[in-house]
């Protein structure tokens, strides 16, 4: 592939940035700048690695590990901009570069990880680590680097290394294609509606549908898209069962349409290559390989946790189904409820059981106020403040920038908030960084971004679940912003996969603190605060529909483990596998998987959560138990507990996760708060022994 190269002209990546917090000058960066910058970044890091391995001096921590930490700075800077833009504001030109460079970047990474000379120096230091007088963060950095090299194949023979590298390169291409296929289906589909099709939809859903239609060139009409913030309210409120079915089936079918965007063949190849890599490294399966470097340690431990909630969740969901069936009969539905019915009748039952109507609640959850609630909570817990900066360059008009300051007013980072769904932005919610905190050669402040996919309105109104998502991602953001580490590889969220969700999930609890709701849940029209009776109903209803929520999540986590525990996935028929798996676990037919394989981006648009989707539940054990400490103290803002919790957010990967948790909690976590939090305690207690 050829590009209009920017080598001969001004390329912003080849200069210092005088912007606030050295933000990328987005207005000057064009797609054609990336290939030249990525090429130079890879070449520079290769030269830096060669300088380390070619040193005549004996291996030392400074000339090997710290030199490795300093390597690749241009490549990191360019990659962070590129990766963020392809997720949040992609174009056909960026997608083409992504397809071209994903395997090149993977090959470069493997060249570093399989460099025999570099590993020899790290291995020598690792053997001598007891005699090197290292600080605790340095010793952990050395041990983690050594383990990363070993797990990448540094001890393999030449032929095995070549296979490992080839598999990694091919996987990078497949991951990129998988994500682009899902985004294609999400951008391509919409359900166009006329006013006559809106029966049951509350005002906020109609406003969102009108905005989505206008954005897609359908002025005067309404449209439902496959963004979760669009389709879930439609499934919960639309009285048109035929339209609910059409929307649900399109949502469930993302990524599995025959033709150029079919993810089925990609999944088969991805799973096969991962299994091959695991075998090369001496593991029985890819799941065994991935979990060996987690808090869980084994697939059996992760599965055991999931099984502890699975049967109680199914019993809870069965009770919920009875209530929904009664509501559907009263509504004139004379057949079993289907997956496109559950949310609709659940909303009706919730209104009847708790006198709680999401359409009544939503006007109190204004996006701007929920952002202020998150900022205020962070301030009260951790002593930080957020000041909007309108002089910062941003990559899209939706993005807002905030300078983050400590108690003395000193800047500690920059926070970018990108909250709205739009074409060219992948679905879901996530946190990432344009720059990570570290102090190896002077203090480098982080630039953190939170992405959500809310439907834009005037004002934008959130459901309680939307607000919880905002708090969740903000918890990840705080993990990056509060980081206080020396080395880049230990910064912020660079922790084990089944620990990284703890800082985000524990922060969600402060949304439901009555003090927070009383202060920030304000009606957008009247200015009235959330009435106390409504607040109490909201809190009472938090466990409503938790059987459904737990089943749809836990089934995905078990599917992930089952798929990646296969020692030989050759000839995998993913559709047949999914059908067989759901039958084996007794999946209730009226509850669909939260993520079906063909659009399960956690697993197949990258390897981050592959064989690790259980991590959300593992972290929920920690977050439920952790917040219980504040409940027991009788103060959700207890200063001593907040200081110990802040130490976790600040530590990055400088210590073992369980050690960090024990320092905060004073003991290891218990599962009982999780079961109570999900409303499953009674079902778990009634389980046959």
Q: Are residues 384 and 530 in the same domain?
A: yes
- pTM: predicted TM-score of the whole model, two decimal places: 0.93
The stretch 193-217 carries a mean pLDDT of: 93
Question: How does residue 358 score in pLDDT terms, banded at 50, 70 and 90?
Answer: confident
Classify residue 477: in a domain, yes or no: yes
Would you call 578 a catalytic residue per the annotation?
no
The stretch 310-332 carries a mean pLDDT of: 96
* Separation between Cα atoms, residue 130 and residue 454, nearest integer Å: 51
Classify residue 69: in a domain, yes or no: yes
Q: Are residues 558 and 669 in the same domain?
A: yes
Classify residue 421: in a domain, yes or no: yes
CATH number of 588's domain: 1.10.1370.10
Residue 410, pLDDT > 60, answer yes
Q: What is the overall mean pLDDT for the chain?
A: 95
Q: Are residues 400 and 521 in the same domain?
A: yes
Helix/strand/coil (H/E/C) assignment for every residue in 445-500: CCEEEEEEEECCCCCCECCHHHHHHHHHHHHHHHHHHCCCCCCHHHCCCCCCHHHH
pLDDT given at position 682: 67
The stretch 660-667 carries a mean pLDDT of: 97
Query: What is the domain extent for residue 452?
Result: 363-540
Question: How does residue 359 score in pLDDT terms, banded at 50, 70 and 90?
Answer: confident
Nearest to 616 by CA among 663, 558, 539: 558
Question: How does residue 357 score in pLDDT terms, banded at 50, 70 and 90?
Answer: confident
The total of other beta-carbon atoms located within 10 Å of residue 681's CB is 16
Question: How does residue 8 score in pLDDT terms, banded at 50, 70 and 90?
Answer: very low
* Separation between Cα atoms, residue 606 and residue 290, nearest integer Å: 13
Sign, CA torsion 359/364/369/373:
negative
Please name every residue paired with 430 in a beta bridge, in sequence order, or none if there are none: 451
Residue 491, pLDDT > 90, answer yes
Residue 526, pLDDT > 90, answer yes
Q: Are residues 197 and 325 in the same domain?
A: no
Q: Are residues 111 and 236 in the same domain?
A: no
Nearest to 425 by CA among 261, 228, 171: 228
pLDDT given at position 6: 43
> To 10 degrees, the CA torsion angle through 622, 624, 627, 633?
-110
- Of 523, 540, 557, the residue that ends a domain is 540
Q: Are residues 243 and 120 in the same domain?
A: no
Residue 2, pLDDT > 70, answer no
* Separation between Cα atoms, residue 483 and residue 485, nearest integer Å: 6
Most confident of 151-160, 356-365, 674-683: 151-160
Q: Which of 33-42, 565-574, 586-595 has the lowest mean pLDDT?
A: 565-574
Q: How many residues does this entry show for the chain? A: 689
* Separation between Cα atoms, residue 665 and residue 580, nearest integer Å: 42
* Separation between Cα atoms, residue 536 and residue 542, nearest integer Å: 10
The stretch 485-494 carries a mean pLDDT of: 98
Q: Are residues 376 and 324 in the same domain?
A: no
Question: How does residue 476 score in pLDDT terms, banded at 50, 70 and 90?
Answer: very high
CATH number of 127's domain: 1.20.1050.40
Residue 194, pLDDT > 90, answer yes
Q: Are residues 216 and 132 in the same domain?
A: no
The stretch 222-233 carries a mean pLDDT of: 93
Active-site residue identified among 473, 501, 508, 620: 473
Classify residue 308: in a domain, yes or no: yes
Residue 286, pLDDT > 50, answer yes
pLDDT in tens, 641-650: 999 999 999 9
Classify residue 161: in a domain, yes or no: no
The stretch 474-489 carries a mean pLDDT of: 98
Classify residue 165: in a domain, yes or no: no
Residue 182, pLDDT > 90, answer yes
DSSP per position, 393-453: --SSTT-EEEEEE-TTS-EEEEEEEEEE--TTS-SS-EEEEEE--B-BTB-B--EEEEEEE
Q: Are residues 561 and 525 in the same domain?
A: no
Is residue 81 within 8 A of residue 43, CB to CB? The reply is no
pLDDT given at position 27: 95
* Separation between Cα atoms, residue 363 and residue 359, nearest integer Å: 7
Residue 7, pLDDT > 60, answer no
Cis check: omega of the bond before 672, within 30 degrees of 0: no
The stretch 158-164 carries a mean pLDDT of: 98
Strands 222-224, 191-193: parallel, antiparallel or unpaired by DSSP?
antiparallel
The secondary structure of the chain in percent helix, strand, coil, rounded to multiples of 5, reads 60, 5, 35
- Of 525, 540, 555, the residue that ends a domain is 540
Residue 488, pLDDT > 90, answer yes
Classify residue 97: in a domain, yes or no: yes
- Of 131, 155, 179, the residue that ends a domain is 155
The more confidently predicted of residues 568 and 632 is 632
Alpha-helical (H) ranges within 240-394 are 241-252, 264-280, 286-291, 299-330, 339-354, 358-361, 367-382
Query: How many domains is the chain partitioned into structurally?
Result: 4
pLDDT in tens, 550-578: 999 999 999 999 999 987 777 899 999 99
* Separation between Cα atoms, residue 11 and residue 684, nearest integer Å: 60
Q: Are residues 419 and 506 in the same domain?
A: yes
Q: Are residues 534 and 585 in the same domain?
A: no
* Percent of the chain whose pLDDT exceeds 70: 98
Q: Are residues 17 and 150 in the same domain?
A: yes
Classify residue 176: in a domain, yes or no: no
Q: Return the SS3 of 386.
A: strand
């Amino acid at each position: 592939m050829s590009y209009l190269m920017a080598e001969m002209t001004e390329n912003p990546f080849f200069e210092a940035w005088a912007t606030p917090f050295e933000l990328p000058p987005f207005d000057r960066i064009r797609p054609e700048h990336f290939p030249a910058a990525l090429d130079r970044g890879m070449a520079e890091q290769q030269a830096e690695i060669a300088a380390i391995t070619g040193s005549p001096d004996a291996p030392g921590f400074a000339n090997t590990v710290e030199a490795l930490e300093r390597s690749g700075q241009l490549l990191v800077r360019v990659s962070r901009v590129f990766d963020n833009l392809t997720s949040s504001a992609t174009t056909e030109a960026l997608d083409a570069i992504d397809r071209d460079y994903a395997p090149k970047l993977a090959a470069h990474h493997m060249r570093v990880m399989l460099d025999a000379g570099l590993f020899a120096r790290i291995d020598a230091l690792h053997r001598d680590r007891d005699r090197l007088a290292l600080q605790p963060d340095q010793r952990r950095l050395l041990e983690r680097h050594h383990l990363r090299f070993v797990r990448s194949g540094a001890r393999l023979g030449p032929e095995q290394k070549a296979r490992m590298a080839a598999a990694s390169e091919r996987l990078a291409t497949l991951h990129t294609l998988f994500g682009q296929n899902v985004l294609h289906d999400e951008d391509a589909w919409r359900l166009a509606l006329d006013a006559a099709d809106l029966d049951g939809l509350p005002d906020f859903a109609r406003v969102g549908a009108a905005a989505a239609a206008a954005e897609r060139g359908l002025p005067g009409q309404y449209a439902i898209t496959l963004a979760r913030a669009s389709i879930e309210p439609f499934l919960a409120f639309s009285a048109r069962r035929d339209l609910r079915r059409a929307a649900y089936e399109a949502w469930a079918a993302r990524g599995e349409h025959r033709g150029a965007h079919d993810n089925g063949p990609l999944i088969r190849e991805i799973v096969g290559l991962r299994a091959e890599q695991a075998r090369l490294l001496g593991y029985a399966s890819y799941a065994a390989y991935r979990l060996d470097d987690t808090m869980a340690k084994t697939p059996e431990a992760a599965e055991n946790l999931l099984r502890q909630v699975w049967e109680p969740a199914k019993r809870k969901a069965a009770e919920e189904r009875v209530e929904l069936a009664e509501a559907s009969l009263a509504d004139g539905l004379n057949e079993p409820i289907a997956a496109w019915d559950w949310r609709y009748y659940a909303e009706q039952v919730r209104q009847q059981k708790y006198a709680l109507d999401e359409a009544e609640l939503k006007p109190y959850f204004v996006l701007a106020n929920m952002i202020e609630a998150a900022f205020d909570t962070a301030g009260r817990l951790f002593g930080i403040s957020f000041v909007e900066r309108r002089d910062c360059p941003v990559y899209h008009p939706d993005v807002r920038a905030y300078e983050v300051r400590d108690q003395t007013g000193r800047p500690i980072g920059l926070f970018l908030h990108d909250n709205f769904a739009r074409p060219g932005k992948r679905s879901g919610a996530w946190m990432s960084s344009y720059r990570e905190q570290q102090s190896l050669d002077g203090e480098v402040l982080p630039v953190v971004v939170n992405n959500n996919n809310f439907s834009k309105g005037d004002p934008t109104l959130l459901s309680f679940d939307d607000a919880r998502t905002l708090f969740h991602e903000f918890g990840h953001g705080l993990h990056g912003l509060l980081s206080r580490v020396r080395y880049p590889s230990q910064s912020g969220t660079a922790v084990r996969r089944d620990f990284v969700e703890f800082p985000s999930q524990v922060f969600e609890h402060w949304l439901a603190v009555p003090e927070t709701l009383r202060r920030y849940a304000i009606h957008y029209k009247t200015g009235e605060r959330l009435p106390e009776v409504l607040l109490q109903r909201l809190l009472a209803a938090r466990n409503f529909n938790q059987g459904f929520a737990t089943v749809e999540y836990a089934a995905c986590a078990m599917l992930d483990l089952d798929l990646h525990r296969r020692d030989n996935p050759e000839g995998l028929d993913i559709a047949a596998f999914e059908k067989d798996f759901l039958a084996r676990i007794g999946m209730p037919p009226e509850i669909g998987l939260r993520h079906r394989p063909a659009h399960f981006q956690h697993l197949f648009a990258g390897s981050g959560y592959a064989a690790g989707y259980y991590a959300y539940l593992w972290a929920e054990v920690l977050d439920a138990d952790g917040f219980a400490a504040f409940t027991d103290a009788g103060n959700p803002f207890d200063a001593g507990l907040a200081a110990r919790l802040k130490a976790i957010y600040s530590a990055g990967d400088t210590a073992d996760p369980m050690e960090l948790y024990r320092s905060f909690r004073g003991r290891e976590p218990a599962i009982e708060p999780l079961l109570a939090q999900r409303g499953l305690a009674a079902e778990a207690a009634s389980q046959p022994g």
